[in-house]
Structure 1
């Protein structure tokens, strides 16, 4: 059995969310990310869209955490759009230590500049590259809070996450990283602005699966596709797309 798939899947918690993605593409949103190395913490929010690379036969546990609705897109699309698997790091590893040392070097430089304007400033290109790297890292395991519940020693590695993190140019002036305290204080403002940026796909060419929770949702999804894409999809494309709709009830019972 394959341990990875030819698709990546984005899960969401409602049929309405799924239908809006089908119609408008993915809207960017800031996500809070904690990274730990020993006693050090890196706590930022980054703009991203998350997917997983988990075979449907192994996804039952993931459904309860992230939602029973989803859209699967081909890996070719992911590569073309610049997505990348998350880099998982063990808290005690030398690689985590190296990364934290670079971050502390940058923080030290910022503090020195406040007290001594003549301090040589760290190269801006290096700073942007460091932000890019940090936005793609995650601890191998740790504590997870989801749906108001805390799960201790959760293995993030099992999610096999892929991320779309936009470049500075694609963000059109929005921040690439925000300290969590600042983000939490005004997250609606930050998400409203960055949400105007879309990650798009071709509904006929790029979709592998459309996942809904129940059989009844299949009919609603078919009606939505018929109403919204009858002018842009051929009859044959419409028929093929409809065969890609599957319910999580089927996944749980048949895979």
Structure 2
């Protein structure tokens, strides 16, 4: 007979999987109220193409260094509520606007796990893990067809795996693009999770880089690719009312616009439930 001390009682098992050193909510913040209203109207979060600086990986193709990758994704932070201001408004260092905005959603973390969201890896560019990833990626680039910019089918699955690893990795610190500006960030503080849509059966590119597709990583093209992705419903992260724990707006005026949208787009009972989740950032930040 098993020792009772080694038996986990089923009704208490969930307690072992709660998060105690991090949040039980993942937060997705945006810079504009319109983005939030669009997400709630469509009842989905819409991935966008994000530029990732990969200079730390020292990738080369045809003698040119690849510095930027454009990857479709949704980004979330795993940060407790009282530590959100740095993420929302930024550090303010050197006058940079390096926050992500005060509009957003807080989603149940267990639901996010079920939907395939993944915490990213933070890479120290001086570590052996990073050096091995550099080596394998450059070997893959050497195997690419020089005319078609495409890897041969026998190595395609391996290289797709490596690209996925890059899409789910960041350096500990570095630079990022915000609009057309370039800013410095401590990425490790963000405790980021990502949703990477499956675009295998889509017309949208799975990724672009600044050597083989230099025009594709420019700001106007990024916007065009992201707008096209909004029409790819299979790429969206569809939301459920029950898993939305917080809806962040900046001020009281924003709250009124949000309530108006909820009354139009949702059944009365659902609109009332959603209204209870609204958090006015300018008010609550004073109490954190």
Counterpart in 1 of 2:46?
Answer: 27
Counterpart in 2 of 1:52?
Answer: 77
Inter-CA distance 108–148: structure 2 relative to 1 (3 Å threshold): closer
1:206 to 243, 260, 283: 243
Cα distance in structure 2, aligned partners of 1:145 and 1:18: 21
Counterpart in 2 of 1:8?
Answer: 26
Counterpart in 2 of 1:172?
Answer: 202
Q: Which aligned runs of 4 or more in structure 1 are off by greater than 6 angstroms?
A: none
Matched, 1:187 2:233: no
Aligned ranges for residues 57-206 of structure 1 at < 5 Å? 57-64=82-89, 65-110=99-144, 122-146=154-178, 150-152=182-184, 154-169=185-200, 172-180=202-210, 181-185=214-218, 186-197=221-232, 198-202=236-240, 204-206=241-243
The TM-score, its normalising length taken from structure 1, stands at 0.85
Unpaired stretches in structure 2, ≥5 consecutive residues: 1-18, 60-65, 90-98
Cα distance in structure 2, aligned partners of 1:45 and 1:147: 13
Unpaired stretches in structure 1, ≥5 consecutive residues: none
Conservation of the 8 A alpha-carbon contact between 2:57 and 2:134: no
Cα distance in structure 1, aligned partners of 2:222 and 2:137: 24
Inter-CA distance 138–105: structure 2 relative to 1 (3 Å threshold): same
Alpha-carbon RMSD: 2.4
The TM-score, its normalising length taken from structure 2, stands at 0.76
Inter-CA distance 219–2: structure 2 relative to 1 (3 Å threshold): farther
Counterpart in 1 of 2:11?
Answer: none
Stretch moving more, 32-41 or 208-217: 32-41
SS across alignment from 1:59: helix
